[in-house]
Amino acid sequence: MLITQLLAALVAAIHGYILVLEMFLWDKPAGRRAFGMSAEQAAQTKVLAANQGLYNGFLAAGLVWGLWLGAAGLGVLGFFLGCVLVAGVYGALTASRKILFVQALPAALALISLGAGW
């Protein structure tokens, strides 16, 4: 299960980073660069981005919880990885294809690993 744990930790770290970008750096140069926005766009969408960031934080927290539970947390990991996968596919279809590779692919790999018992 070490591979699963490493992949799930990676997905949690990605979502923790997204939380920081969306909640705290959205209208700063790093946030605008990451999301390709002007200062005006960032200012207009800052509240919405903070809300998105909070949801990404919940995904990260759920994954950390599943990891913390160890073998007893495999169902928790599966649930939260599935949530990340669905959100990533939806985001890729509606917002940016990049989301497919940044969010959905790592979650899919972790789910495959979980299912294989790695």
Q: Where are the domains of the chain?
A: 2-116
Q: Record the tokens describing residue 20, joined without a space.
A: 């920081």
DSSP state of 95: T
pTM for the whole thing?
Answer: 0.94
pLDDT score recorded for residue 104: 98
pLDDT per residue, tens digit, the chain (118 aa), is 899 999 999 999 999 999 999 999 999 999 999 999 999 999 999 999 999 999 999 999 999 999 999 999 999 999 999 999 999 999 999 999 999 999 999 999 999 999 999 9
Residues 87, 85: Cα–Cα separation, whole Å = 5
pLDDT score recorded for residue 1: 87
